[in-house]
Amino acid sequence: MTPSVAIVEDDLALRAGLSRGLREEGFEVSLSVAGGTALLRGLEDLPPDVFVIDIGLPDVDGRDLCLALRARGVHAPVLLLTARGGITDRLSGFHSGADDYLPKPFHFEELVLRLRALVRRGGKAADPPSGLYLDLAAHEARNEGRGVGLTPTEFRLLAALLARRGEVVRRHSLIAAAWPPGAIVHDNTLDAYVVRLRRKLDGIDQSSAITTVRGVGYSVG
């Protein structure tokens, strides 16, 4: 089968070159857009086999977009592109749910090989969870037509929990996903943000309560 790829890159020339080159290499480019909002709006019921997402998008950080995909139950592999190749940048990308990371400038042949490896490894698209979900464009948590605004940190924290709905997410994983690399985050800071999230979510979705697993982390139903 022909593997499908979705490209999210705001540089028009680079996006066009990637689309053309990947088609020549046997990929089906199912979606090619300039921003994260357009990607989420254009996704069909069946996601692509692999995503190529630039971190520096005009409307959203590519890592937040990756978190939003995972929170929606999309598990197809994600390769992040970025002009920043430091170890802290790479780690923050992986903590957001990305599967691979390629600094710019890069050799196209290497990109193709990495994508083929990700497709072979595969990933499954789960059915999108009902009830509570994240609206990336509005930066809100929404449920049945009701929404509540979230700060960037609250958004990333909730996305990390929803990406592993029903599982216990350890405290260090939540901190790594929600705060910038190198940020000094105390335990009571994380706890305070969870309390704020609980209060906000209580007004729109009481069924998705955030549960504390003492000494380990948090989970959301």
Provide the pLDDT for residue 45: 62
Q: What is the mean pLDDT of residues 124-131?
A: 54
Q: What is the pLDDT of residue 86?
A: 61
Segment 39-62, tens digit of pLDDT: 988 886 678 999 999 998 999 889
16/1: higher pLDDT: 16
Task: Express each pLDDT in 57-102 by its tens digit.
Answer: 999 889 889 988 988 888 899 999 987 766 666 666 667 788 998 9
Question: pTM (2 decimals)?
Answer: 0.73
Are 64 and 159 contacting, i.e. CB atoms less than 8 angstroms apart?
yes
Residue-wise pLDDT for 162-174, tens only, equals: 888 888 999 998 9
Tell me the range of 58-62, 84-88, 143-147, 189-193 where mean pLDDT is highest.
189-193
